[in-house]
Structure 1
Amino acid sequence: MKTLADLVLLGDPRLYEVCEPVTEADLPLVAGWVADLHQVMQEVRARYGFGRGIAAPQLGLMKRLVYLHLDGRSHVLLNPELSECSPAMFELWDDCMCFPNLLVRVQRHEAVTVTYRDAQWQPQRWPVQGAVAELLQHECDHLDGILCTMRALDAQSFRWRP
């Protein structure tokens, strides 16, 4: 079982890599991967007080897998793809488990649609807006080796969280 000590931190080259798709042959491994992601997310929540989603590369697993835990419900997204991104944008202070004390001012789409396969390999389509849309944009960026630090609005868009 992975723990907080296994979390990949800012500067690790794996965070800048594009992940490989999850294949149907990987399905027997998905439950174990999700258990690890859930465990580490719970540890981050306990220590730092935040965490709604985590992407597999944050634990060094270079697969296109996102795990969300929202309002007591778990969501497993295999090979998520964002589309129908709204032209309307909003700004926020983004945080990331890979650098838990740093906040970064970024701009995100107000609404997106994510298509993905669930843990049973069934195709899904999920239109989302607001906080969940922002979260999915952040997590899907991880799958493409993009960190919110790379999306900062400008050189002054960084803040330390005590």
Structure 2
Amino acid sequence: MKHLTDLLLLGDPRLYETCDPVQETELPLVSGWVADLHNVMEEIRVTYQFGRGIAAPQLGIMKQLIYLNVDRPQVIINPEIVTASNDMAELWDDCMSFPNLLVRVRRHRSLTLTYHDEHWQPHTWNVTDWGLSELIQHEYDHLNGVLCTMRAIDDQSFRWRPTPKTNVV
């Protein structure tokens, strides 16, 4: 089982590599990879109070695999963004591979994604929810060796994440 200490951090050369597609013959490996992704995301949530998705290369698994857990767990294998809206929006993006840094980026407000699930069933997903659209684009970028630091709007689009407030009695 992988843990937070296994997460690749900014500067690790593997984060800049393009991932290979998952082959149907590798499907028996997917459940183990997903368990690792889930475990690390839960540790990030406890430690840093964020985390809705994680891409396999962030754990050194150089495969086109994304694990989301927004309202429910969702496995996305070999995704392809087939269309993206011309309508863009800006946000302060965060990343588990550099959890204390926020980066101002522009992302498409909506998109259409094709992918396979953990049972190798094909899906087409029209993502019109802005929060999901930007999340998918972030994770999809990881599969192509692109970090949000590379999508910064300008050289002033970086800031430290505020430290979470704790209740002291």
1:142 aligns with 2:155: no
| Alpha-carbon distance between aligned partners in 1 of 2:87 and 2:68, rounded to the nearest angstrom | 24
Q: Tell me which amino acid in the other structure corresponds to 1:153.
A: I
Partner of 1:2: 2
Query: 1:101-116 residue pairs with structure 2 within 5 A?
Result: 101-116=100-115
Distance apart, 1:83 and its partner CA: 1.9
Partner of 2:119: 120
Partner of 2:166: none
Distance apart, 1:85 and its partner CA: 0.2
Distance apart, 1:148 and its partner CA: 0.1
Identity %: 66
| Alpha-carbon distance between aligned partners in 1 of 2:83 and 2:17, rounded to the nearest angstrom | 25
- Give secondary structure in 1 for the equivalent of 2:84: coil
1:92 aligns with 2:107: no
State TM-score, norm by structure 1: 0.98
CA deviation string 1:33-87 (max 9, x = no partner): 000000000000000000000000000000000000012x111000001122000
Q: Tell me which amino acid in the other structure corresponds to 1:93.
A: W
- Give secondary structure in 1 for the equivalent of 2:78: strand
- Give secondary structure in 2 for the equivalent of 1:57: helix
Q: Tell me which amino acid in the other structure corresponds to 1:12.
A: D
Structure 1 alignment gaps of length 5 or more: none
Q: Tell me which amino acid in the other structure corresponds to 1:117.
A: H
| Alpha-carbon distance between aligned partners in 1 of 2:113 and 2:74, rounded to the nearest angstrom | 12
| Alpha-carbon distance between aligned partners in 2 of 1:83 and 1:52, rounded to the nearest angstrom | 22
Structure 2 alignment gaps of length 5 or more: 164-169
- Give secondary structure in 2 for the equivalent of 1:34: helix
Partner of 1:33: 33
Partner of 1:11: 11
| Alpha-carbon distance between aligned partners in 2 of 1:83 and 1:151, rounded to the nearest angstrom | 20
| Alpha-carbon distance between aligned partners in 2 of 1:9 and 1:145, rounded to the nearest angstrom | 13
State TM-score, norm by structure 2: 0.94
Partner of 2:79: 80
| Alpha-carbon distance between aligned partners in 2 of 1:120 and 1:155, rounded to the nearest angstrom | 43
Q: Tell me which amino acid in the other structure corresponds to 1:61.
A: I
Q: Tell me which amino acid in the other structure corresponds to 1:141.
A: D
